[in-house]
Amino acid sequence: MDRTAKAVISELLARDVVPVLKRHGFAGRGRNFRRTREGRQELVTVEPHRWNDRHGGAFAIDLGVFIDALDAAESLVPPAEPPARHECHLHVGSGFRWTFDAVTDLRALGASAGEWVLREALPRFDRLATGAGVLDWLRDRTDPPGLRQVYLAATAGAPELAQAWLDRVVAEAAPWPLPVRREAARFAALLGLRCPPPVDSPTLTVTLRLPHDVPPARQEEALRQLSYKLHQHLTELRAGRPAAQAATLYHALRRDGLVCTADFYGAPAEDLLRPLRRAFAKLAPQFADIRESSTPGGGSPAPPPPPD
C-alpha cells in the first residue's frame, strides 16, 4: 500500500462510520465517540491492531456502556473526565473482523464497517438498555462474578441470581475476607439482598468536613485526593506486615452531604495515625475541619482457637 494503516482506517471511519454515528447522536472525533442517554453513557471506540504497518492492517470496533447509578454505588464522586473505555461497566467487542492489505477493496470494507455499526452496534446498545439485555450480557461472561455483577443482576430484575452471586463473593473472599464482607453488606443493603453483617469494628474514625462555600467540582476533587491519599498510605502500611495481618488492614469511606467519614480497621489507632497524619496535613487546605477519634475495643475478630 502507498499509505499507512492509520491513514486507511481514518479514511474508512470518516467516510463510512462517523456519519452513521453522528446521525444517531454520537459526538467525538478520531477513534472515540460517545452519546449520553438517560442514566448512562455509550462509547464507541475503534481499536487498530497493534501490528498494523504499510503492508496492511486490521481494526476492531468496541462498545462500552457507563452506568451512572452503578458508578455512584461504587464511588464517592463521579469521574473527573468523561469515562474512558476501560471505565465502562458493560463491554462488547467486534473482534478484528476488518482486515486489509494492498489488494483489499477499501470501499467495500468501509461499507461493511458502517453497516455493522448500523445493524449490530446500535441495536446492541438498545438491548443493553434493557434488563433482559444486561442479563444476557452477564450470562455470557466466564469470569467469576464480583459486586459489580451483583448490582447489575439485581437492577436488571434477577434478584435470585444477584443473591447467589453475592453469596459466592462472600464465600470466595480470601485472602481479603473482612473488607469484601463489609462492602458486600453495603451492596446488599442497597439492593435489598441478604448478607452476613461485618464481624470487625473500626479502631479509628476520621471525619472530614468539606467547606460549604466552594463549588461542587472542588469538593469532588478534594474527595478524589482523599481517596488517593488513604489508599496510598494504607498500601505502604500493609507492605511491612505479614500477609495474614495485612489482609485485615483496610478502610471504608462514606459521604453524607459535606461530611466524609473514613473508618479504619485492622491496626491500632496509633499505628494508623503515624502515617495518616502526614496525609491529613496535606489535605487540610481542602477541608474545613478534620477530626480523629479512636474506638476502644475496636479491631478484627480474634482468630479461632487451634484444634485439639
Tell me the per-residue pLDDT of 237-266, one tens digit each, with 9 for 90 and over.
Answer: 899 889 888 989 999 999 999 999 999 999
Same domain, 186 and 209: no
Q: Could you tell me the three cell numbers for 256?
A: 453524607
Number of domains in the chain: 3
Same domain, 9 and 108: yes
Q: Is residue 305 part of a domain?
A: no
The DSSP secondary-structure symbol of 211 reads P
Low-confidence ranges of the chain (pLDDT < 50): 302-308
Q: Is residue 301 part of a domain?
A: no
Query: Measuring CA to CA, which residue among 290, 242, 291 is closest to residue 267?
Result: 242
What pLDDT, on the 0 to 100 scale, is given for residue 298?
61
Same domain, 120 and 182: no
Same domain, 114 and 152: no
- CATH code for position 215: 3.30.70.600
Q: Among 151, 167, 191, give the residue marking a domain's end.
A: 191
Same domain, 152 and 237: no
Q: pTM, whole model, 2 decimals?
A: 0.90
Same domain, 29 and 107: yes
Q: Is residue 122 part of a domain?
A: yes
Q: Could you tell me the three cell numbers for 279?
A: 496525609
Same domain, 9 and 121: yes
Whether the Cβ atoms of residue 89 and residue 152 lie closer than 8 Å to each other:
yes
Q: Is residue 57 part of a domain?
A: yes
The whole domain housing 112 covers: 5-129
Same domain, 27 and 124: yes
Contacts of 55 (CB under 8 A, 6+ apart): 1, 101, 102
Half-sphere exposure of 247 (CA within 13 A, CB side): 12
What pLDDT, on the 0 to 100 scale, is given for residue 308?
45
Same domain, 115 and 10: yes
Q: Is residue 76 part of a domain?
A: yes
Query: Measuring CA to CA, which residue among 122, 104, 119 is closest to residue 58?
Result: 104
What pLDDT, on the 0 to 100 scale, is given for residue 54?
81
Same domain, 46 and 120: yes
Same domain, 124 and 152: no
What pLDDT, on the 0 to 100 scale, is given for residue 94?
85
Q: Is residue 308 part of a domain?
A: no
Rounded Cα–Cα distance for residues 32 and 38 (Å): 20
Contacts of 268 (CB under 8 A, 6+ apart): 203, 299
